[in-house]
Amino acid sequence: MKITEVRIKLLDGQPDKLRGFASITVDDCLVVRDLKIIDGASGLFIAMPSRKLCDRCPSCGCKNHLRARHCNDCGKRLGASRGSQDERGRMRLYADIAHPIHQEARNQVETRVIEAYRAELERSKEEGYVAHSFDDLDYDSYDRAHGAAD
Ligand SMILES: [Zn+2]
């Protein structure tokens, strides 16, 4: 696998640990977006794009996020532990949309994105800096990465 392009969107003045978004291009063929750059307890790390898992309300059949305590549609109270659990016995709330399947690929993604992030940070201090434009960034699945960083 060769990462042929990395684009970084810096986030300034965030109160939380999210420092930016990245998109990567693999082998000039495939773009993966919504990678998140997180400033964790042991330094910068990358969270792969993920989606929130949902299930259906037993009363009305409306879809709700697994963390929801009440149905968005009918307002009925929902059970506390729904869905499956992870290896530490916690509710699995997110599923990766795209992720590296072995450590070597993970390291490669992490190294390239963090390098690009630092380079972008330097560039952003120069006069006339123009940030890449990104449409509809996925702030939504950030709380997962936040939880992982604590
Ligand atoms: Zn309902």
Rounded CA Rg of the chain: 18
Ion ligand 1 contact residues with beta carbon within 5 A: 57, 59-60, 62, 71, 73-74
Decide if 78 contacts 57 (C-beta within 8 A).
yes
pLDDT at 19 over 80: yes
Give distance in angstroms: CA of 65 to centre of ligand 1.
12
Cα–Cα dist 77/53, whole Å: 18
Give distance in angstroms: CA of 79 to centre of ligand 1.
12
pLDDT digits (tens, 9 = 90+) for 34-61: 999 999 889 999 999 988 899 999 999 9
Decide if 79 contacts 57 (C-beta within 8 A).
no
Give distance in angstroms: CA of 84 to centre of ligand 1.
20
Q: What is the pLDDT of residue 15?
A: 73
Tokens for 87? 């290896």
pLDDT digits (tens, 9 = 90+) for 86-107: 778 877 888 889 999 999 999 9
Give distance in angstroms: CA of 69 to centre of ligand 1.
11
Q: What is the pLDDT of residue 140?
A: 54
Q: How confident is the model at residue 148 (pLDDT cuts 50, 70, 90)?
A: very low
Counting every residue written for the chain, the total comes to: 150
Percent helix, strand and coil across the chain, each rounded to 5? 20, 35, 50
Cα–Cα dist 148/77, whole Å: 28
54: left (phi over 0), alpha (psi -120 to 50) or beta: beta
